[in-house]
Amino acid sequence: MKKILALVAVVALVAFAAPAFANVNPFMDVPMNHWAYDAIGQLAARGVLSGYPDGTYKGNQPMTRYEAASAVARALAVVDMTKASKQDVEMLKRLVVEFKDELDALGVKVDQIDSRLAVIEDRLGGWQIRGEFRFDGRWGSNDNGLYGLDGGTDEFQMSRYRLHLTKYIDDKVTFYARLNGENATFAQYWLDVKFPWDITMRVGKQNFDWEDEDSLYVDNDAWMTDIDFKGFHFRKPFGMGEFALVVGHDEGAGVLETIDADTGLPSLRDSSFGEGYTLGARAKFNFNEQVWFSANYLRRDFKDPSELALDGYNSLSTLWAVGNVNFTPAIALRLAYYMQKFDTEAGTAADVRHAGIDSPNALKAIVDIKQEALKFTSLWLEYSKFDDGFITMNMAGPWDHMGLVTGPWIGGLYENTMLFRADQSWTDQWATFQRYFVGNARNAGFDDTTNWTFGVRYNYTPSLYFQVEYDKIENALTVPGLDDHLIRFRTYVSF
């Protein structure tokens, strides 16, 4: 094979990666009037072609298989996956198979090349499309019970239908959008931008969940984060960890909530806290593989405190610190301590609620044991203690059936809670899980709330599973008298 012919093949592979303008050709034996002058210059500038020590390319000499394999490996390293076509990827696959032995001899791992090709193929044309489909059959004990209020009386629900659209614009900018539900609304949309000094910015309508990054919860029971907002999220890694900054604004229409006439406790509500600004800062320090620490701050300012059903909050600030120790790769202990401050309007419901309460605190302790340690099951053991008046910003409860059980005023409901969860993976197809929650009532006249669940999952394919579970709650504290149980059959696929 002549080098000039091999060059044509490589150009076909990486032309979509080369810039539109001509590059200065570094080889003295390739004249400017040669038809391949620009292509050779582009490939040399990108490191695909190296030539000989004397500054020549020697394009009329036969190319060895080792030289061709080397060019293929270097071309793959610089290919622009956002502009690749299916034909380009197929050609790369054929060349990798053709030169497998030579690539191995050069020390190039073919499996790593295959991984790179999989990424390129996944992002053909710069677009990546993912999706989720979740359909539930739900049967509660009565339509007026807790689960009837939580999910309506529908026995069949399309509980999640999402399309995740990602566009890799270039090596510095990525666009993402999430299309939700039957009404086809965009629930999230943002740009990820890379700046110098390893600074990244996410701008748009987005979700941030620092508690999840610190593994502070299972199921859906984040306290302060896992919230959507419109704004900016900056990140800056450093040697031992990362800094993060959030600046956002929520144009929510307010909160729909009813107050129990006898207890004064909130019951039903939606997921908005009304219009206001969100400000947050975070620093995480990884001291070594066993020990890390994070400090987090989040403040919500409300433009019109009267939008809240328990009106009168001008702002709510929460500072929390998290420490983690990994005793082994499969056993960890985490401690989190939360401190809050309020700014309330005199004489409002919020002011009355927090009379005599200056800065309520909360504590969470977690023992996280993976199945590798115990062999037959994993264990999540969580204990939380709340001062009276402590407020959680997230609406979800400790289980996705029971958002009404805790809600955002958890400190007014329970003195402490305990959560136990165990998961067993028996085979690649079969898994089981159990969970038990108890909330110790703060107010006289209420019994402790208990909730337990048992579930079985069958992975029919790597992307599709079926799950059946039984869930029972007693003494639903937020709305007394709504004890209920639920059988749910779930079908879930990701694609």
What pLDDT, in 10s, does the model give residues 298-356? 998 877 665 554 467 788 899 999 999 999 999 999 999 999 998 887 777 777 777 77
Give the pLDDT of residue 229.
87
Domain check: are 233 and 313 in the same one? yes
* pLDDT for 185: 85
Is the model's pLDDT at 101 over the cut of 50?
Answer: yes
Round to whole Å and give the CA distance between 495 and 492.
10
**Which of 106, 122, 138 is the last residue in one of the domains?**
122
Q: How many CB atoms lie within 10 A of CB 162?
A: 16
Shared domain for 289 and 347, answered yes or no, is yes
Rounded Cα distance between 71 and 57, Å, is 13
Would you state the pLDDT for residue 237?
A: 94
Give the mean pLDDT of 442-447: 76
Structure confidence at residue 389 as a pLDDT band (50, 70, 90): confident
Q: Under 8 Å CB-to-CB from 64, ≥6 apart: which residues?
A: none
Average of per-residue pLDDT across 105-113: 61
Contacts 24+ apart (CB under 8 A), 49-57: 49/7, 49/10, 51/26, 51/27, 55/26, 55/27, 55/28, 56/27, 56/28, 56/29, 57/3, 57/27, 57/29, 57/30
Query: Is a pLDDT exceeding 90 seen at residue 390?
Result: no
Q: Tell me, yes or no, whether 215 and 98 share the same domain.
A: no
Q: Which amino acid is at 56?
A: T
Determine the pLDDT at residue 428. 94
Cα–Cα distance between 435 and 439 in angstroms, integer? 14
Residue 170 lies in domain: 129-494
- CATH number for 193: 2.40.160.10
pLDDT value at position 267? 41
> Is the confidence at residue 470, as pLDDT, over 90?
yes
The predicted structure's pLDDT at residue 269 = 39
Look up the pTM and report it: 0.73
pLDDT-derived band at 169, boundaries 50, 70, 90: confident
Contact 439, 383 (CB under 8 A): no
Q: How much is the average pLDDT of 14-36?
A: 58
**Interior/surface letters 359-378, b for 16+ CB within 10 angstroms, e for the rest:** ebbbebebebbbeeeeeebb
Q: Per-residue confidence at 49, pLDDT binned at 50, 70, 90?
A: low
Same-domain pairing of 133 and 42? no
CA distances from 459 to 248, 400, 432 (A): 39, 21, 11
Average pLDDT over residues 14-25: 51
The predicted-structure confidence for 237-292, as pLDDT tens digits, reads as follows 998 899 999 999 876 544 434 444 443 444 433 344 567 889 999 999 999 989 99
Q: Which residue has the higher pLDDT, 99 or 425?
A: 425
Provide the percentage of residues in the chain whose pLDDT is more than 90: 36
Task: State the Cα angle at 47 between 44 and 52, rounded to 5°.
Answer: 65
- Of 100 and 419, more confident: 419
**339 and 445 belong to one structural domain:** yes
Q: What is the mean pLDDT of residues 83-97?
A: 65
Q: Report whether pLDDT(365) > 80.
A: yes
* Whether the predicted pLDDT of 357 surpasses 60: yes
**Count of domains observed in the chain:** 2
pLDDT, greater one: 343 or 57: 343
Distance of CA 407 to the CA centre of its chain: 22
What digits encode the pLDDT tens for the residues 478-493?
A: 666 677 788 999 999 9
State whether 253 and 346 are in the same domain: yes
Q: Are residues 249 and 204 part of one domain? A: yes
pLDDT class of 439 with cuts at 50, 70, 90: confident
Spatial distance between the Cα atoms of 7 and 74, rounded to a whole number of angstroms: 13
Q: Which residues of 87-99 are buried (b: 16+ CB within 10 A; e: fewer)?
A: ebbebbeebbeeb
Residues 115 and 134 in one domain: no
Q: Are 205 and 167 in contact (CB under 8 A)?
A: no
Same domain, 168 and 138: yes
Provide the pLDDT for residue 79.
Answer: 61
DSSP letter string, 96-124: HHHTHHHHHHTT--HHHHHHHHHHHHHTG
pLDDT above 70 for 68: no
Kindly state whether residues 210 and 346 are assigned to the same domain: yes
| 122, 149, 171 - which closes a domain | 122
Torsion 177-181-185-188 (CA) sign: negative
Of the candidates 122, 139, 171, which is a domain's last residue? 122
pLDDT of residue 244: 98
Token pair for 439: 């909330």
| Dist CA 347 CA 330 (whole Å) | 51
**Token couple for 209:** 């969940």
Number of Cβ within a 10 Å radius of residue 344: 21
For residue 415, is pLDDT > 50? yes
User: In the predicted model, is pLDDT for residue 412 greater than 70?
Assistant: no
| pLDDT number for residue 258 | 43
C-beta atoms surrounding 211 within 10 Å: 22
Specify the range with the lowest mean pLDDT, choosing from 10-24, 103-117, 393-407.
393-407
Q: Which residue has the higher pLDDT, 439 or 328?
A: 328
Q: Do 137 and 85 belong to one domain? A: no
Tell me: the pLDDT tens digits for 182-238?
677 888 999 999 999 999 999 999 999 999 999 999 877 788 888 888 999 999 999
**Does residue 380 register a pLDDT over 60?**
yes
Regarding whether 105 and 220 lie in a shared domain, the answer is: no
CB 473, CB 451: distance < 8 Å = yes
Question: What is the spatial distance between Cα 381 and Cα 435, in angstroms, rounded to a whole number?
Answer: 10
Which residues neighbour 111 within 8 Å (Cβ) at sequence distance 6 or greater? none
- Residue 168 — very low, low, confident or very high, per pLDDT cuts 50/70/90? confident
Is pLDDT above 90 for 383? yes
At residue 121, φ and ψ (nearest 5 deg) are: -65, -35
- Segment 115-129 shows an average pLDDT of 67
Residues in contact with 405: Cβ distance below 8 Å, sequence separation at least 6, in sequence order: 146, 397, 398, 439, 449, 451, 473, 476, 477, 478
What percent of the residues of the chain are helix, what percent strand, and what percent coil, each to the nearest 5? 20, 40, 35
Which among 298, 297, 295, 296 is positioned nearest to 273, based on CA atoms?
298
Mean per-residue pLDDT, 365-373: 97
